[in-house]
């Protein structure tokens, strides 16, 4: 029996803290549980919106303040129960707990739950639970001084606390250090015994599914207990007099769970019950499970070491995106919001989400939706871009956190592999850490001993990979493109995006290119007047080092210099979309040498210029449309030498490819027709015989198959002899038809507060396209690359 304690909370700054006068005068402030200090202060009207303009800088005091949360509740006794536990599913982060003035204990880890025996501390009538949250930064700085500093990518000690690292700021996120009761709190009343931990290991071999249920049992009394597991009509039981139990269910001919695009996602209800010797049920546990087999192929070949995800004996080309927390304040992330994001992922033909290691272990809602949609997931353990101490108290906290999360997520078929960290092994090798570390620990023991041992012990049904990137052995550079997984960041940081073609990875776990968010999102969060690419609010919402300069470098490589913010905004979004499409198509065309790409990144946690396809307000950037094309089940891609057809379906693709070299007026200068058949899960290449242009400034190469087009331009946009854009439009409700009177490149609809169904369309004169927009509008905004950069939205 559980009694929720999520209602009736208040909070206030602890005595002696310096806070704004309005906060000090507010007294007991209502608090939402789950929630955090920032969202509660915002709801009470005591702070400005943290995401607006430069308000983030005005709110640093929040993370330096000690806060006390208080709840009062009635207690009428245990009602025959032997035990009463206070269960805190998540406290953020450094907390002391008191019940009726008596200390219960302390916490120091956002990523694990806590349980306290409170039966003897409860009193009839009104009880008071008090949780005092100490500043996370103070705690981290204490251990930084005590254990000795260790390098990281940002000037904050996030590696000295078990807390969501990106709370301390990232190159896409604000520095808003949270505190509060971020997960539910309740009283758990029980007697005789309860299920302390249930760990189902689900496997399938041939026509037989197997569910091994491992249960840890907490006891209040001795005596025999019966554990029963049921899947559909299949059930089995075991009796134990100890504190553990194990039983196995075999399911004949189960329907297998498949990644999206490869089959269905059937799931089965698993129910586990614990009963006493009279048959009375003491506790129950329920999950949905799926039967699938997963492994990662890393057997060396003539070219190095592959990284091939195989599910149910089917090699899968990973079409992935990186996932960060969808809000700086996790309690605001509802199931409905996650559902929208994951549907946006599937809408872009994504089949895998990588949960990045600087955020959180994702929620049950996230994984349940991923299971339902057939989205594979790889979950990083929470270490990112830093050297982490392995001394106490961190060694014990890391082990407890990892064990709890591995058990919690083991039942989800969408979870494909565990990853030890993000970029830390690479950082140790390449970022000058060794000289700074001397002999201090930096996390290697976690990635190579602690974490693999926990996964092997608690979840041997799925693989573990020590890091992202990682080349499979300490004898190689961790970001060696010929071995395992790699990250590609030299392009964004140093080169034009066309240099993605220089890379030949076996598997790309990160690469990305920036652009600002949607125009409406900018206007909602930035009040600069005038609003320009380098106005104060815009610069504050750009967290990447030299980010604006890198965006401009990318523009200069392809376009004439712009003079209006509207043009800068449009062209930077075009550049991002082109960069990601080029990279994904190039890597997919390398299959089977390369067997996966995970683009950085799908989503944002606030309105910011970043590498995302979905901005902080949930709006799709042009990159999303480019990703949808590049990740299509059947891909036609083109360069000046050849066309490549990639078939990621289970049926042969038989089609006719017509390749033309045309003038910008649409006149065909040369044509080649090819009849091809692409086997399932493979590619076919077609060499051009018509590619050499008479005039590279007025001609384009393009190919068409089954209504899909691929393009190759012989010159950069700034050197092309584009005509001035001319077109006709017709608006009919939510349908906007555009008919080209001249060549139009990357035609995109930018209406405020609507969500068109396509973008980045290239048309010859006389061709038409119809956009479906999210709501009627009488002021659609159309942009294409061959606009005159007037800055005037038509």
What's the CATH code of the domain at 259? 2.60.40.10
**Based on the domain organization, do 202 and 159 belong to the same domain?**
no
Q: Give the pLDDT band (50/70/90) at residue 752.
A: low
Q: Are residues 171 and 40 in the same domain?
A: yes
Predicted pLDDT of residue 794: 35
Please give the span between the terminal C-alpha atoms of the chain, in angstroms, as a whole number: 63
Contacts of residue 45, Cβ cutoff 8 Å, sequence gap at least 6: none
Q: How confident is the model at residue 271 (pLDDT cuts 50, 70, 90)?
A: very high
The answer to whether position 629 is within a domain reads: no
Domain count for the chain, please give it. 5
- Give percent above pLDDT 90 in the chain: 93
Report the chain's C-alpha Rg in angstroms: 28
| 240-263 mean pLDDT | 96
pLDDT of 435 higher than 70: yes
- Residue 294, domain member (yes or no): no
* pLDDT beyond 80 at 558: yes
Q: What is the Cα–Cα distance from 555 to 545, expressed in whole angstroms? A: 17
Confidence band for 733, pLDDT divided at 50, 70 and 90: confident
pLDDT tens-digit readout, 697-719: 999 999 999 999 999 999 999 99
Does residue 779 register a pLDDT over 90? no
* Average pLDDT of the residues in 116-139: 97
Q: Is 621 helix (H, G, I), strand (E, B) or coil?
A: coil
Q: Are residues 181 and 196 in the same domain?
A: no
Give pLDDT, residue 164. Answer: 97
What is the Cα–Cα distance from 338 to 69, expressed in whole angstroms? 28
Q: Do residues 165 and 204 share a domain?
A: no
pLDDT at 791 (0 to 100): 41
Shared domain for 20 and 164, answered yes or no, is yes
In three-state form (DSSP H/G/I as H, E/B as E, the rest C), the secondary structure along 662-678 is EECCCCEEEEEEEEEEE
Residues 6+ apart with CB under 8 A from 731: 737, 777, 778, 780
Beta bridge partners of 180: 92
Residue 303 lies in a domain: no
Rounded Cα distance between 712 and 644, Å, is 13
Cβ neighbourhood burial of 561 (10 Å; 0-12, 13-18, 19+): exposed
* Residues 664-688 pLDDT 10s: 999 999 999 999 999 999 999 999 9
DSSP 45: T
Helix (H) or strand (E) holding 731: strand 727-732
349 with 397, same domain: the answer is yes
CATH number of 410's domain: 3.20.20.80
pLDDT in tens, 356-396: 999 999 999 999 999 999 999 999 999 999 999 999 999 99
Q: Are residues 523 and 596 in the same domain?
A: yes
State the pLDDT at residue 272: 98
The H or E element that residue 680 is part of is none
Q: Which long-range contacts (CB under 8 A, 24 or more apart) does 142-151 make?
A: 143/389, 143/394, 147/389, 147/391, 147/440, 148/440, 149/436, 150/386, 150/387, 150/388, 150/389, 150/433, 150/436, 150/437, 150/440, 150/442, 151/386, 151/387, 151/427, 151/431, 151/432, 151/433, 151/436, 151/437
Residue that terminates a domain, selected from 238, 270, 289: 289
Q: Does 345 share its domain with 284? A: no
Query: Whole-model pTM?
Result: 0.96
Instruction: Answer whether residue 636 is part of any domain.
Output: no
Of the three residues 188, 203, 231, the one that is the final residue of a domain is 188
Asked if 579 and 688 sit in the same domain, the reply is no
Q: Are residues 166 and 130 in the same domain?
A: yes
**Residues 398, 479 within the same domain:** yes
- Examine residue 313 and state whether it is found in any structural domain, yes or no: no
Higher pLDDT: 659 or 733? It is 659
Confidence of residue 354 (pLDDT cuts 50, 70, 90): very high
Asked whether residue 311 is assigned to any structural domain, the reply reads no
Judge whether 396 lies within some domain.
Answer: yes
Host domain of residue 218: 192-289
Average pLDDT over residues 192-213: 96
One domain for residues 346 and 241: no
Evaluate if residue 792 carries a pLDDT over 70.
Answer: no
In-domain check, residue 686 = yes
């Amino acid at each position: 029996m559980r009694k929720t304690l999520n209602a009736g909370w208040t909070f206030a700054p602890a005595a002696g803290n310096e806070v704004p006068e309005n906060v000090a005068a507010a007294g007991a402030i209502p608090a939402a549980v789950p929630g955090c200090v920032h969202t509660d202060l915002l709801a009470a009207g005591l702070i400005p919106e943290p995401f607006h303009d430069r308000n983030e800088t005005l709110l640093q005091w929040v993370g330096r303040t000690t806060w006390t949360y208080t709840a009062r509740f009635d207690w009428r006794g245990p009602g025959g129960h032997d035990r009463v536990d206070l269960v805190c599913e998540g406290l953020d982060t450094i907390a002391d707990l008191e019940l009726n003035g008596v200390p219960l204990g302390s916490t120091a880890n956002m990523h694990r739950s806590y349980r306290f025996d409170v039966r003897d501390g409860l009193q009839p009538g009104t009880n008071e639970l008090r949780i005092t949250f100490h500043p996370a930064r103070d705690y981290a700085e204490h251990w930084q001084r005590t254990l000795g500093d260790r390098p990281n990518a940002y000037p904050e000690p996030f590696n000295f606390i078990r807390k969501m690292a990106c709370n301390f700021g990232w190159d896409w996120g604000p520095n808003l250090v949270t505190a509060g009761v971020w997960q539910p709190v309740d009283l758990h009343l029980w007697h005789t015994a309860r299920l302390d931990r249930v760990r189902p290991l689900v496997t399938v071999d041939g026509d037989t599914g197997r569910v091994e249920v491992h249960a840890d049992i907490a006891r209040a009394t001795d005596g025999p207990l019966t554990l029963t597991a049921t899947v559909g009509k299949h059930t089995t039981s075991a009796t134990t007099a100890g504190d553990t139990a194990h039983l196995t269910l075999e399911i004949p001919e189960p329907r297998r769970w498949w990644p999206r695009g490869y089959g269905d996602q059937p799931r089965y209800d698993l129910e586990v019950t614990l009963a006493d010797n009279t048959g009375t049920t003491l506790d129950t546990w329920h999950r949905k499970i799926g039967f699938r087999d997963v492994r990662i192929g890393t057997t060396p070949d003539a070219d190095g070491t592959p990284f091939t995800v195989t599910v149910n004996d089917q090699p899968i080309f990973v079409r992935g995106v990186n996932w960060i927390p969808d809000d700086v304040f996790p309690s605001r992330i509802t199931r409905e919001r996650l559902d929208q994001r994951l549907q946006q992922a599937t809408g872009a033909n994504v089949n895998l989400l990588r949960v990045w290691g600087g955020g959180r272990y994702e929620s049950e809602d996230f994984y349940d939706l991923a299971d339902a949609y057939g989205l594979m997931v790889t979950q990083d353990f929470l270490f990112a871009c830093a050297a982490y101490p392995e001394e106490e108290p961190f060694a014990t906290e890391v082990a407890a956190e990892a064990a709890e999360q591995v058990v919690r997520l083991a039942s989800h078929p969408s979870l494909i592999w565990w990853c030890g960290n993000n970029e830390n092994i690479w950082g140790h090798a390449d970022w000058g850490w060794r000289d700074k570390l001397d002999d201090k620990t930096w996390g290697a023991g976690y990635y190579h001993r602690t974490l693999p041992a926990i996964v092997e012990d608690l979840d041997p049904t799925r693989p573990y990979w020590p890091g992202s990137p990682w080349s499979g052995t300490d004898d190689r550079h961790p970001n060696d493109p010929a071995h395992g997984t790699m990250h590609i960041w030299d392009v964004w940081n140093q080169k034009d995006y066309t240099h993605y073609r220089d890379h030949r990875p076996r598997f790309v776990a990160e690469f990305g290119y920036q652009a600002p968010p949607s125009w409406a999102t900018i206007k909602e969060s930035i009040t600069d007047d005038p609003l320009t690419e380098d106005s104060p609010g815009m610069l504050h919402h750009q967290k990447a080092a030299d980010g604006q300069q890198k965006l401009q470098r990318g523009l200069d490589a392809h376009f004439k210099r712009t003079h209006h913010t509207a043009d800068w905004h449009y062209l930077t979004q075009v550049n991002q979309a082109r960069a990601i499409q080029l990279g994904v198509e190039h890597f997919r065309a390398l299959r089977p040498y390369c067997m996966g790409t995970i683009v950085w990144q799908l989503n944002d946690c606030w309105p910011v210029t970043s590498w995302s396809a979905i901005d902080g307000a949930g709006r799709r950037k042009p990159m999303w449309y480019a990703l949808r094309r590049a990740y299509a089940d059947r891909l036609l891609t083109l360069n000046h030498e050849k066309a490549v057809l990639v078939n990621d379906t289970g049926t042969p693709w038989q089609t006719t490819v017509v390749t033309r070299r045309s003038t910008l007026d649409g006149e065909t200068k040369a044509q080649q027709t090819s009849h091809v058949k692409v086997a399932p899960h493979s590619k076919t290449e077609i060499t051009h015989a018509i590619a050499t242009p008479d005039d590279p400034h007025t001609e384009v190469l393009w190919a068409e198959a089954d209504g899909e087009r691929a393009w190759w331009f012989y010159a950069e946009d700034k050197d092309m002899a584009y005509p001035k854009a001319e077109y006709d439009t017709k608006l009919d409700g939510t349908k906007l038809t555009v008919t080209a009177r001249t060549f139009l490149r990357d035609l995109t609809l930018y209406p405020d507060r609507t969500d068109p169904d396509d973008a980045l369309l290239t048309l010859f004169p006389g061709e038409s396209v119809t956009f479906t927009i999210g709501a009627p509008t009488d002021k659609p905004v159309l942009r294409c690359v061959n606009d005159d950069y007037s800055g005037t939205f038509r």
